[in-house]
Amino acid sequence: MVLYKGITLQTACFFYMLFFSTAILAQQPADFVNPFIGTSNFGATFPGPIAPRGMASISPFNVSGSQNRPLEKDSQWLSNPYVNENKFLTGFSQVNLSGVGCPDLGVILVMPTTGIVETNHLKYGSTYSNEVAKTAYYGLNIDKYNVKAEFTASKRVGVSKFTFPKGQSNILLNLGLGLTNEEGAMVRVVSSTEIEGMRSVGSFCYNSPEDAYPVYFVAKFSKPADKFGVWKKPAKYKGVEAQWMGYNGKARMMENTIKTVVGDSIGSYFRYNFEKEETVEVKIGISYVSIENARENLEKEVGTKSFDAVYKETYNEWNEELSKILVEGGSKDENTIFYTALYHTLIHPNILNDFNGEYPEIKRSKIGKTDDTRYTVFSLWDSYRNLHQLMSLVYPKQQSDMVKSMLEMYDENGWLPKWELNSTETFTMVGDPASIVITDTYLKGIRDFDVQKAYTAMLKGADQIENNPLRQGLKDYIEKGYLTTNDRGPVSTTQEYNASDYSISLLAKALGKTKDANRLKKRSLSYKKLFDKNLKLLRPRTFDGKWYEPFDPVSGANFQENVGFIEGNAWQYAFMVPHDIKGLMKLMGGEKDFSNQLQKVFDSKQFDMANEPDIAYPYLFNYIKGEEFKSQEMVKKLVKEYFQNKPKGLPGNDDTGTMSAWLVYSMMGIYPIAPGEPIYTITTPMFDKITIALDAPYYKNKSIVIEREKNKEGHIKAIQLDGKAHNSFFISHDEFVNGTTLKIIQN
């Protein structure tokens, strides 16, 4: 074998493997992911590395400092650690939320610097260049220090790799600065290669401050520090004694100490004096249970593996997950937005349990233990609409574990989750969406959970009038059929309860509980009492039953507060009765009037692609025979307009993957139009061929293919399932997954 002079066989093989794998992987789904998508336009995603459903993740943190205004975290409501157009970087946070609407996590900031130790982030911060973001990898150059910083992550461990120039270098671990509104941290240098500690987070959406909780961590460094230390900047004391405190309010530098330090504004630093360019890898294990578990997570999951090894493993894991759907015939941009969307649906819910199975139970009064996976970050008001439906189809084992996690929460807390975040119930948004998700899962044949318990839990949420944390205004809802203007967002909330009640009625029916089924089905139609025949819209009523006056159907768009609706207006909610579109049609005066009113939403620009209540609207034309082409056109138009291969390429907040799930389904040509019901509606796929893997034991077929005819741009003229005509724009989940090929034939 001929080798270049000075290159060993080992090195040669390494490059060969690298080339080989790169060559192969260039065609792989994971290579299409562009983590910058959603990092602008309030998409609230982050570009840094994370493993599928990882607990740990690394995000560049560039939302602090006046240089970053207006998208500066302390000057407005800002829910992301990174904004693509910002320029001033102050570290790399080790736990992050993706696509949420409130600031939280974004803590444990690592930052490499050079020269003397500066602990004030406004002073040590820097601009950066040469950003690279791809699956499981993020890298950049930090201009001020000429340091190259690269990042990857396993499920519970973030791995940073810093290439320092010759000279004095520092790695800061800033436990003060963070995206969360909580403060408070603890740190202890264990040795010259290890730091442990915790950081308080919580008060998500400025709620439930009493549930604020710790993220524990252990950081291991590949090279022992020459010097280390801890800093603390205490609050300024204002009493009589201040006269004797020459140090009052000043930062304290504590060198070479192994004591435990607590405070709101603290951190630790490792110092190196390099005689030549050197790299240091920092591995940070995370746990929501304890420092010991964080250490075990680090050791068992990463141990002595190199940065490159971790990167490769996580890349492969992603590629395997993303390959569950193989698309053919798309452009590079189409592939990119599709796989990035799928990637975004595989971030939350994420694992909460440690390597040893332990996790904090809801309310943190106990440590639980699981043999499966305990999931967390359930933004159910968002995700009940399509994300869990995507999981049930493509990742049924994950969806099953998610349902089991929800039932564990019920065991721990007495209630199903609503917006659960790291074992805190944040009670964000309205409605009682867990029932819809569980019913949907069960009716799709994923049944390896305790459905009786689930059913009991659902009924408790639906029927317990007193002290019910899930359903505010339930008494009015049951007695009057609707919430009144005495409650927040009474129309929206009534609609949400209707949808949940319908799902519960479906499950009741499946379980043979006919009486409950009938009772709840009836309840699910009570939205009709809010239907104003003159406006052909739903409209809030006051406690005494009168229409709320003055009423402006347009008010409430763009997240303005308004009486009647939550994050939306009358137009954006008018059609949100997915379980009773036929009934609504009747109310509106039939197909024609329904169609006109629906079209009006789009024509009057009341349709909001950026929020959930109306995201199924584009598909509603499918309910009107002969107007299905309108859905096909509308979906295509919206995808083109709002979903693009660029940082602004999401219509708005990704809502923990809900927007992305909408895109994945929409590009595949099917959509779970009625959450809770195992049914899809059909539109034109955006690829020639889509192969969806179907996992045993949940599905008997290995895969299902969706095909469209190549080079056709026209409306759908026929649909075939396994070669036979399928004379409907709707298809049940069972029909679909038991088929082999769903063929969409266009004009």
Q: Which is nearer to its own copies, 165 or 184 (CB)?
A: 184
Least Å distance between CB 251 and its own copies? 9
Binding mask 639-678 for its own copies (x = CB under 8 A): ----------------------------------------
366 binds its own copies (CB under 8 A): yes
What 8-state DSSP symbol labels residue 210? G
CB of 45 to its own copies, least distance (A): 22
Task: Select from 214, 433, 651, 669 the one that contacts its own copies (CB under 8 A).
Answer: 214
Pick from 10, 23, 240, 466 the residue near its own copies by CB under 8 A. 240
Segment near its own copies (CB under 8 A); pick from 20-28, 231-239, 399-407, 634-642: 231-239
3-class secondary-structure state, position 93: strand
In the complex, the smallest distance separating the C-beta of residue 207 from its own copies, rounded to whole angstroms, is: 9
Residue selected from 300, 305, 312, 363 as contacting its own copies according to rule CB under 8 A: 363
Residue 334: strand, helix, or coil: helix
Among 234, 329, 414, 445, binds its own copies (CB under 8 A): 234
Site for its own copies in 260-319 (CB under 8 A): 260-264
C-beta closer to its own copies: residue 363 or 715: 363
Environment class of residue 693 by beta-carbon count within 10 Å: exposed (0-12), middle (13-18) or buried (19+)? Answer: middle
Per rule CB under 8 A, is residue 239 in the interface with its own copies?
Answer: yes
Asked if 224 interacts with its own copies (CB under 8 A), we say: no
Alpha-carbon gap, residue 1 to 317, rounded angstroms: 34
Q: Which of 286, 105, 108 is nearest to 201 (CA)?
A: 105
Q: How far is the CB of 189 from its own copies (least distance, A)?
A: 9
What is the DSSP track for 628-647?
Answer: HHHHHHHHHHHHHHH--SST
Listed ranges 217-225, 362-370, 508-516, 567-575: which one lies at the site for its own copies (CB under 8 A) = 362-370
212 binds its own copies (CB under 8 A): yes
Residue 203 sits in the site that holds its own copies (CB under 8 A)? yes
Is residue 81 within 8 Å of 96, Cβ to Cβ? yes
- Taking the CA atoms of residue 537, residue 543, residue 546 and residue 552 in that order, the dihedral angle to the nearest 10 degrees is -40
- Cα 139 to chain center, whole Å? 22
CB of 234 to its own copies, least distance (A): 7
CB of 179 to its own copies, least distance (A): 11
Is 239 or 550 the residue whose CB approaches its own copies more closely? 239
Tell which one of 364, 369, 460, 648 touches its own copies (CB under 8 A).
364
* CA dihedral of 613, 615, 620, 621, whole degrees rounded to 10: 140
Please report which helix (H) or strand (E) contains residue 162, including its range: strand 157-164
Q: Which of 86, 174, 200, 505 binds its own copies (CB under 8 A)?
A: 200
Which CB sits closer to its own copies, 197 or 618?
A: 197
What is the total count of residues that contact its own copies (CB under 8 A)?
50
Peptide bond connecting 618 to the previous residue in cis, omega within 30 degrees of 0: no
A 10 A CB-CB count for 323 gives: 15
Residue 641, Cβ density class (10 Å: 0-12 exposed, 13-18 middle, ≥19 buried): exposed
The structure tokens listed for 262 are: 């607590």
SS3 246: coil
Any idea how long the chain is?
Answer: 747
- Output the smallest distance, CB 557 to its own copies, in A: 21
Distance of alpha carbon 689 from the chain centroid: 27
Interface residue with its own copies, options 67, 144, 165, 213 (CB under 8 A): 213
Residue 198 lies near its own copies (rule: CB under 8 A): yes
CB of 262 to its own copies, least distance (A): 4
Stretch that binds its own copies, among 115-123, 197-205, 300-308, 443-451 (CB under 8 A): 197-205
Stretch that binds its own copies, among 229-237, 405-413, 432-440, 514-522 (CB under 8 A): 229-237
- Answer for which of 46, 216, 619, 698 binds its own copies (CB under 8 A) is 216
The half-sphere exposure of 161 on its side-chain side, counting CA atoms within 13 A, is: 18
Nearer Cβ to its own copies (353/681): 353
Please identify which residue in 194, 211, 354, 408 interacts with its own copies, judged by CB under 8 A: 211
Residue 206 as a binder of its own copies (CB under 8 A): the answer is yes
Write out the binding residues for its own copies, residues 176-195 only, by CB under 8 A.
Answer: 181, 183-186
**Helices (runs of H) and strands (runs of E) counted in the chain:** 19, 34
Rg of the chain (C-alpha set): 27
- Contacts by 676-679, CB closer than 8 A, 24 or more apart: 676/435, 676/436, 676/439, 676/440, 676/443, 676/499, 676/502, 676/503, 676/506, 676/579, 677/440, 677/443, 677/506, 677/579, 678/440, 678/443, 678/444, 678/732, 678/733, 678/734, 679/730, 679/731, 679/732, 679/733
Distance CA 331, CA 635 (A): 18
Query: How far apart (Å, rounded) are the C-alpha atoms in residues 379 and 505?
Result: 23
Residue 118 interacting with its own copies (CB under 8 A): no
User: Whole-number minimum distance, CB 73 to its own copies, in Å?
Assistant: 9
Binding interface with its own copies (CB under 8 A): 74-77, 181, 183-186, 198, 200, 203, 206, 209-214, 216, 232, 234-235, 237, 239-241, 244-247, 252-264, 360, 363-367
